[in-house]
Structure 1
């Protein structure tokens, strides 16, 4: 458990705020049924300890169409003001009174702050304008880009860099024109941000220019014994290449031409190599001269991440296993990651950081078969830890805190009996308590959701 919610935040709820909530004005009517008393009490308990099961609870409450009881609106708004993680969920549960109250109390401004306040963008300080721009990118990215287009020439260099970096939120093909404009900026920082974002747009003119360079520098050669990828780098760069972010300097002592190749292959659409070679699998299998092979594979890997290409990410996972970069694993479709785990290929490292990356983002709740596999691995760890006779160490429950928290949060309710059984059979007192606590918390989740019914 973590410390309870700071009392000063609850104390800040004034009596007049409660009185305002009690006024049932027609324009603030909310036809949704109020939360059952037991569920409302349960919600406040979960918020008090900042429970990691709150997303599941909020999703269930929203699905059933509940609203917060009037008596809790003021307290919930105070918590929403200090809790960015669950602010939107709380405001949605409160309903129309959320914005109404926030408009009357400045310290509750965050829920009421709208991205449509163009006066902030046109007349505010840079800090406020950047906050507005970031908020607008989250809700209406095309409109935000249009506003920046309009003011671009009047923005200071360091401000342009911050705005271009903020385009990462909601990035899409509609941002291409603005990013192309940024490539000609006199600020190196602005140009660098623009290049980074353009590399994530495989359908852009920038990607097409990089693909054209890649076709000139890298060719498929058909030999009698085996087809290979031949690399023929230029001796110098033209102005267009420099504009696109291919720079004349050595990178990590790997050679300037290796660096040029890395930049171009990273930015070229992965579909280029599929057309040239056949598929992601064929690309990783094709013969490449030793001097260039590492560069090509690293660049393909980075391109996979930037372009969020699931097919290439899946191929990398199948080939590299636990050596696959975590940023690549997150792109592999959830069902493929689950199949990979249930096949047993991830067993040796399922409880480690690399293995946990495999389960990040899997649909909630996790299937029982996954829970059984993880519980089996945890029981093995508990047995080995019992032999050490110590409370701490890499095999202790303390070293597996994140795994146990994930179990409490994502295991299906039917996994609780398996955890109780694990507690009964382990010889380690610490692990016995850990298994029992995880099972009890899963039962607690089940009770909380049943109350909503």
Structure 2
């Protein structure tokens, strides 16, 4: 009697050698399988001598199929050796209104994907979580797009966070706030680098001291590249309590870690690094007065004599950037670490008055560059406003780089104040959209970095200025890109008005395609907002 396993081996052998070299002999197998194989053999014998070869090949394939199905049907389900996951807690938040489902589906499929951040924000503001069946697609998107994760996690709900725990690729969405102390420790000690970083950033928001303690517990064992990423997380809720960890990192073996630590310490006004920089820089920058009534002020600046080891430890790079002198570069970095109000107190002058003293100074670029860094690090709104006004007046706005003037305003001033600046320029400047000496109008560049929903007032001012300029609206890449951006942020309440204005330019060949996109985006956003207003019974 032949066993099923032996016959399976025979089938494989015949299939490899071919029926011309090895014949298929039907075995004696007990049970239902044997009966079926006998029936197959009888049927093929009746096929006739003329089809002998063909019938043998057919018989081989049919027998192989029967045995394979028999084996599959006979397999027992695999037993899971691990414990089943805990049951998901019910969602505390309601799902988004039903009409929004089609919008989220389209965006997750790639249609109007740029509108997704706004849709997620609307869901959070109105207290909704996303539909359960769309959670896998949203988690997959967050895995690919780290920039969207902060927008995604608030709408996941209990089900989304539970789902994230079942897939290692989605671990970035696991909420530290729901973990027990033992779980936190386990994730930190054994989790992947990405999971550790997510955990550290979340703890910095809610429990900065716990985040600090976790990092300190493993600092010596961390890889050098990981230390840099972990230190950058200290930007969240940075305080003087973080100084011991950061001060120690100034002596780290990796230059990038030292640089990040120095930058963070320069943002803490009470830090020892800031005090050391003040001691170095304050004697170098002074104001003298002349004239009969001592009313004519002058900025007296001396350059540092050297960049010693202590200065380099505090983050001063000895090698200058292109286009700036070596010693001026050292001074600029020193100024960038000192809270700008220090100079107002020392000179008894306002920020704008101090900046006006730099207008004809030979070290103007170094002074302004240093104070721009300082204003950004210490989020000094008065200095930012004054620097903006001075740069606009001198037509010396810097647009690019880590400490650009436009980036400075965008990083420090609150959205409502930035809106006021942009609206003021839109309402008063007839050449807002046109090329001018030195490039585009600075407020237009500021508008491009304003990634917030526009108010009715800003949208109205933009539409009115566009209406006056639409016949001569520039068609270069930057201007058309600005239009595409505007469609993402204009108030959807004025979508129809905007469409009427821009429709006048649709006949211009260079603008037709971008305007089609603008109209489509505005319409989609308008309908999305309406869908969120649906009353849920």
Q: Which range moves more in the overlay, 233-242 or 259-268? A: 233-242
Q: Distance in 2 between matches of 1:282 and 1:365?
A: 34
Please say if residues 62 and 93 of structure 1, whose CA atoms lie closer than 8 Å, have aligned partners that are also in contact.
Answer: yes
Q: Paired residue for 1:374?
A: 462
Aligned pair 1:52/2:119, yes or no? Answer: no
Q: Distance in 2 between matches of 1:104 and 1:26?
A: 12
Please state whether the residue corresponding to 1:267 is helix, strand or coil: coil
Aligned pair 1:428/2:428, yes or no? Answer: no
Q: Paired residue for 1:41?
A: 102
Q: Paired residue for 2:234?
A: 167
Please state whether the residue corresponding to 1:227 is helix, strand or coil: strand
TM-score by length of 2: 0.66
Please state whether the residue corresponding to 1:117 is helix, strand or coil: helix
Aligned pair 1:296/2:367, yes or no? Answer: yes
Q: Paired residue for 1:267?
A: 337
Once the two structures are TM-superposed, the CA of residue 145 in structure 1 deviates from its matched residue by: 2.3
Task: Map 1:226-245; keep pairs closer than 5 Å.
Answer: 226-233=296-303, 235-236=305-306, 240-245=310-315
Q: Distance in 1 between matches of 2:88 and 2:195?
A: 31
Q: Distance in 1 between matches of 2:205 and 2:158?
A: 22
Q: Distance in 2 between matches of 1:26 and 1:128?
A: 23
Please state whether the residue corresponding to 1:228 is helix, strand or coil: strand
Q: Give the counterpart of 1:310 among 375, 378, 381.
A: 381
Sort the Cα spacing of 1:402 and 1:412 in 2 relative to 1 into closer, same or farther, 3 A.
same
Q: Which runs of 5+ in 1 are unaligned?
A: 1-24, 386-393
Q: Give the counterpart of 2:475 among 395, 399, 403.
A: 395
Q: Which runs of 5+ in 2 are unaligned?
A: 1-85, 398-404, 435-439
Please say if residues 407 and 438 of structure 1, whose CA atoms lie closer than 8 Å, have aligned partners that are also in contact.
Answer: no
Q: Which range moves more in the overlay, 123-132 or 224-233? A: 123-132
Please say if residues 199 and 306 of structure 1, whose CA atoms lie closer than 8 Å, have aligned partners that are also in contact.
Answer: yes
Flag the structure with larger Rg. Answer: 2
Q: Distance in 2 between matches of 1:152 and 1:445?
A: 47
Q: Distance in 1 between matches of 2:277 and 2:240?
A: 16
Aligned pair 1:451/2:517, yes or no? Answer: no
Q: Give the counterpart of 2:251 among 181, 184, 191.
A: 184
Once the two structures are TM-superposed, the CA of residue 158 in structure 1 deviates from its matched residue by: 5.1
Q: Distance in 1 between matches of 2:163 and 2:312?
A: 54
Please say if residues 284 and 304 of structure 2, whose CA atoms lie closer than 8 Å, have aligned partners that are also in contact.
Answer: yes
Once the two structures are TM-superposed, the CA of residue 273 in structure 1 deviates from its matched residue by: 0.7
Once the two structures are TM-superposed, the CA of residue 315 in structure 1 deviates from its matched residue by: 1.0
Higher relative contact order (CA 8 A, sep 6+): 1
Once the two structures are TM-superposed, the CA of residue 222 in structure 1 deviates from its matched residue by: 2.6
Q: Distance in 2 between matches of 1:126 and 1:442?
A: 37
Once the two structures are TM-superposed, the CA of residue 207 in structure 1 deviates from its matched residue by: 0.9
Task: Map 1:14-413; keep pairs closer than 5 Å.
Answer: 28-30=89-91, 32-48=93-109, 49-68=111-130, 72-83=131-142, 84=145, 92-112=154-174, 114=176, 117-123=184-190, 129=196, 132-134=199-201, 136-137=203-204, 140-155=207-222, 157=224, 159-224=226-291, 226-233=296-303, 235-236=305-306, 240-246=310-316, 249=319, 252=322, 254-277=324-347, 278-286=349-357, 290-321=361-392, 323-324=396-397, 325-330=405-410, 331-344=412-425, 348-350=431-433, 354-359=442-447, 365-379=453-467, 382-384=470-472, 395=475, 400-413=479-492
TM-score by length of 1: 0.76
- Pairwise CA RMSD: 3.7
Sort the Cα spacing of 1:263 and 1:34 in 2 relative to 1 into closer, same or farther, 3 A.
closer
Q: Distance in 2 between matches of 1:158 and 1:414?
A: 48
